[in-house]
Structure 1
Amino acid sequence: MPWNSFNMWLLKGTTIIFFLTVKMHDINSQSIADYQHYSDIVFLVDGSHNVGRVGFHRIRNFILRVVGQLNVGANRYRIGLAQYSEDSQTEFLLNKFLTKQEVTNHLRKKYSFKGGPVARIGRGIEFVHKNHFVKAAGSRKDEGVPQIAVIISATRSQDKVETAAKALKADGVMVISLGIGKAVKNDQIKMAFVQQYPFIVTVEGFNQLLPLARDMSTAIKTITQKHFVLQEIERPAVCQTASMADIVFLVEESSRIKVTKFELIRDFLEHFISVLDIGSEKVRVGLLRYGTVLTPEFYFTSYQKMEDVLKHVKSIRFTPAKDGRINAGGAIRYIHENYFVARAGSRKQQGVPQIAIMITHGDFNDDVRGPAAALRRIGVLVYTIGMIGTQSNKLRNVASYPPENFILNIENIGHSKNIEKIIQKKICVGIVHVTSVRSEQTDQLQQTCTQSLALHTCPKFSFINFPGNILVKKNHRTLQDGKQAIRPH
């Protein structure tokens, strides 16, 4: 996993501590009942001889009690279970049982003690990571559903846990470490999502497990709910109101961009898209790669779900042409003629904001001024994101006006979390601004029509955008209007 993924879960863990300062047993039961969010939960249980059959039955009863207090279902809480000793085995995957009754029946009748001389927790963590927290096993990670692992241990691990635990947490899984008796605190600290309660829980003996079940189920519900609160905090607030737009990303693919940098650009795209409200009636996105040749990746109507868009973006591979030519003007012309048109899913005629975001080094081998001006004239807001060494004056030929709002730079795309948020916010502000301005202009024109007794009908209006002061034209009369314009057709 890249180091920044590890830092991301660490940051999330630090932030979530703020939300979990209230003791779990003090949370009002009514507020828990009102929760609307669910998670995928996998129990990873010590099945070694250190537990013994009596301890095993008490762990089973503990899990039964916890599951009994959760709303289990295909679209609710999903439950998985695995055992570990010197090796690991699956009891059931997240998509095996989709009702609470099925889960509890298996636990009561078919769940048996594995046994084994040693406990290799690190190997067990790797096992559930590869076999349980994956889409094929029923994980809804790609849909944004919280992933929780409850690791129950009764002794020191006979292998190292830190590397496996880091990989699991870097993949977004929140680990609750429950230690019983001889379980070593140091292992718990390395495994836990955050190094304090409720992510680290310790009891002296198996007989203390059952009274803990209610607190554990409440902790799971609270962690699940706070996960969604945290997601909203990470998402710029203005992006929550930028609920409708058509956005095309133009990504440079030339010999000037090495494979490593292209992968970082791809990560940037994933992070940016993940804050948008993707949907057929919400935000639609398209993507075009450009260099010597133009490669359309997907159009506005290709995907209606965020997870499908992100899956496609993750699959993109770097294939630069050897001659290094950058046909940026051709790329701009292409999206004008093939993306921002009704047949490709553009909602320009419905007044939905049209956005183009170009990621570039700024060294163009063809004319960009004409195609960019033509794109802006049909109402498309054009943002340019320049990488290190890009000259802003070259981007002025492409970007909308004023340049300080539409020309953005990433000095070091590999360490650009703060800059990412700034870019996200600026573009979402642009979407909200266009939406509000157009709504006001439409209302004004409708009011003008209503008030004019001489008019029996009102003309249709369309928005136009120029790289500078914008004019409003109506019946050959010209009015100043800042950044947007409309005219009858």
Structure 2
Amino acid sequence: MRTVVLTMKASVIEMFLVLLVTGVHSNKETAKKIKRPKFTVPQINCDVKAGKIINPEFIVKCPAGCQDPKYHVYGTDVYASYSSVCGAAVHSGVLDNSGGKILVRKVAGQSGYKGSYSNGVQSLSLPRWRESFIVLESKPKKGVTYPSALTYSSSKSPVAQADLWSTTTYTSSQNRPGADPGIQRQDPSGAAFQKPVGVDVSLGEMDSWKPGSVLLDEGLVPKEELSTQSLEPVSLGDPNCKIDLSFLIDGSTSIGKRRFRIQKQLLAEVAQALDIGPGGPLMGVVQYGDNPATHFNLKTHMNSRDLKTAIEKITQRGGLSNVGRAISFVTKNFFSKANGNRSGAPNVVVVMVDGWPTDKVEEASRLARESGINIFFITIEGAAENEKQYVVEPNFANKAVCRTNGFYSFHVQSWFGLHKTLQPLVKRVCDTDRLACSKTCLNSADIGFVIDGSSSVGTGNFRTVLQFVTNLTKEFEISDTDTRIGAVQYTYEQRLEFGFDKYSSKPDILSAIKRVGYWSGGTSTGAAINFALEQLFKKSKPNKRKLMILITDGRSYDDVRIPAMAAHLKGVITYAIGVAWAAQEELEVIATHPARDHSFFVDEFDNLYQYVPRIIQNICTEFNSQPRN
């Protein structure tokens, strides 16, 4: 019986093993038969915009021919979501014009998009936009599932939607406010549409104009998309043209209403061409007649669109053509921090004159130039031969501008040719390297202080000398591109306290001066001058004025004549300040000619502060006396 039971158990175990092996084999066969779903790359047309696709990241296939200019692209590297996806891919270089697969990733909206020409595609500029995207090669990330079908923001397909747009009918009541009623065109259905004021739209662009659309930087943008954008400044501006610009426009009675409108048109075109924004150019307008008045200052309008709208609303004041009074007004009032003036941006004034001024401009312009204002003149028509007797100041433009080399002056024979000055004017005002009056006596020098630290000075008086150095330094505009400060202390030996490239802000410089420690020793002024030439001024920038301000309280133990001559020959303007036991004749040898303007003597250290204003005045007078040619 026991044998039978064992035999039955063995049979059951054997059957279980057979079933187990069979089941595993069956599962393997089933698994082989189940195929994983293949990823299908969705295809899109060239006109599909990224903003119409809801998916945050996706792979798509673009057709050939997306290089066509009709597929608008906005931006460079990072594109506004209103751009053609495939057009952006060609522009970025990920695709060529034959098409192919790309990876698209949505990113945050930008405060501005700069247009550029790349790979046969001209992308356009666009102000602030709510969403952006970047284009990459179609290399899927591990673990990321990409959609085989895209989700669009509308139930209609992109192609159907495009067809709907192209056949929509509309009437003139749908035109945006301010449109010029004289510029109209009929669509095939007979419905009229209008061109926005101040925008040059070609017939081809008019053909692509859509109902309820607004023209922005050469691109047609649907009004419903535009309305979702922020009303804050729409562009950071062109960083290559960071200037603070004031237009002085002629509002005198003699100009007439028609010519006044032509003048405003040029202003609007300049505003558009400059790409106004807080990171680029800012522009205000002052109108003059009998008396000048500011229409808006630098911070009133922070983008080209708002500025153009404001220019359209300017009305003529009338009166005489008092240009000199207007320039004085701008010098004293316009370029202030309260009005939006930025210390790092060159100040530029463009003066427009119909005929000739009714007052003198030379003195007012000189003060403006010495304040660092670059004055440009646009003169229109001028005086006829029988009118020249009425001109108050002949050759007034050359007396006013920053340089008399033709760079700052435009003369237009007729008001109808005024528009021809647009491109050269914009190019010149943005050429910051050539804005010579931007460099003033306070922001264009490398100043090296050479400080006597000998035993006769003493600790207390040495601190007084450092305060004198601090008071002088405070008067200058300090930065890496403005005035730079360096310091040397000397006894028998010399020590570089800090060079021109050590500190680039006024607070840092003032702190460094305060930290200078008193050395004590003998007085070798000649050796100190040589040391300063080698260790400080040899590293001065070529376009900087070189100023050495030497302070000593006694006669030098070594010869100062040869070192002083070496400084003068190297173009270093030397100021010598003597205290107490300093030798007057030695100071005059050290100082640049004429010595009366460059050497000073005080009996006591406590009286040093009295010479700060005079030294600054002499530095500026010498700077401003340079020829303007």
Task: Specify which structure has the bigger relative contact order, considering alpha-carbon pairs within 8 angstroms and separated by 6 or more residues.
Answer: 1
Question: Structure 1-normalised TM-score?
Answer: 0.47
Question: Structure 2-normalised TM-score?
Answer: 0.37
